[in-house]
Amino acid sequence: MPSGVYEHKPLTEEHRRKIGLNNLGKRLGKPSPMKGKHMSEEAKKKIGLANLGRHHTKETIEKMRIIHSKENLSDQTLRKMSIANSGRPSPMKDKHHTKESKEKMRVAHLGLPSWAKGKHFSKEYRKKLSEAQKGRRPTKETLRKILGKRSLTNLEVIFQSIVDKYNLPYKYVGDGSFIIDCYCPDFINTNSKKIAIEVYAKYFKKKSMSIEDWKIQRAEVFKQYGWKIIYFNENEVNEENVLNKIKEVNK
């Protein structure tokens, strides 16, 4: 293809007529000349360049919608489409991943940025990505965007119900509304006391370090800003334990 700048002009009526005649055979049941064939990468590139910057008009989009709507397709055509799209059942139908498989998938994606999740990379490339991400921490703005989309966990809902029942001076901030040095607690005190609360389930907590190390690391960061943290796991979120712990910290 010669180099240079190409001007994309709208299709002429003559050109549209030729395209219509060319596609007429498809609507009459004639096989496509491309059936069983595949375009080369060079041909795809040429087509992409030829259509660069072009957009269908609203009228064309509406025509395409009408032509391809199921109401305008015969029963025979719908049956053929059904057979063509039925395919073979998924190999994972009625099956479940084992704990080992889940752990392998988790480890395989550990340390990758969000845009890389679900993609397949070589071990060497994954290692490079992981090394590049080490030491990086998200900004407060990024955290707020991420946490703003999450909903309360079952444990947080139970804890919130205890707060409401006994009118405790704590509010939920796990949505990113309160952040300390890139850390976001689940609840904080509303009586000007620097007390934060973390509600967590042991199973879902970070597996890259022990829970005790996670607690210590978090507590040290909060301590730098004069904050105390109370931790509640799934076995500790009950009325008696919550009231006793909060009362003890307030002494």
- 75-88 pLDDT tens trace: 777 777 776 666 66
Q: What is the pLDDT of residues 137-158, one digit of tens each?
A: 667 777 777 777 777 888 899 9
Q: What confidence score (pLDDT) does residue 1 get?
A: 43
Global pTM value: 0.47
pLDDT at 237 over 80: yes
d(CA 175, CA 152): 8
Burial of 174 (0-12, 13-18, 19+ CB in 10 A): buried
Q: Which fold has domain 140-249?
A: Endonuclease; Chain A (3.40.960)
d(CA 182, CA 221): 10
Where residue 205 falls among pLDDT bands split at 50, 70, 90? low
Q: Minimal CA–CA distance to 107: which of 18, 230, 207?
A: 207
Question: In the chain, where are the structural domains located?
Answer: 37-85, 99-133, 140-249
Mean pLDDT estimate for the chain:
76
Is-contact 126 112, C-beta < 8 A?
yes
Neighbours of 249 (CB within 10 A): 14
Q: Minimal CA–CA distance to 250: which of 177, 210, 193?
A: 193
Higher pLDDT, 26 or 14: 14
Where residue 2 falls among pLDDT bands split at 50, 70, 90? very low
Q: What confidence score (pLDDT) does residue 104 get?
A: 72
Q: What confidence score (pLDDT) does residue 3 get?
A: 45
Q: What confidence score (pLDDT) does residue 22 get?
A: 67
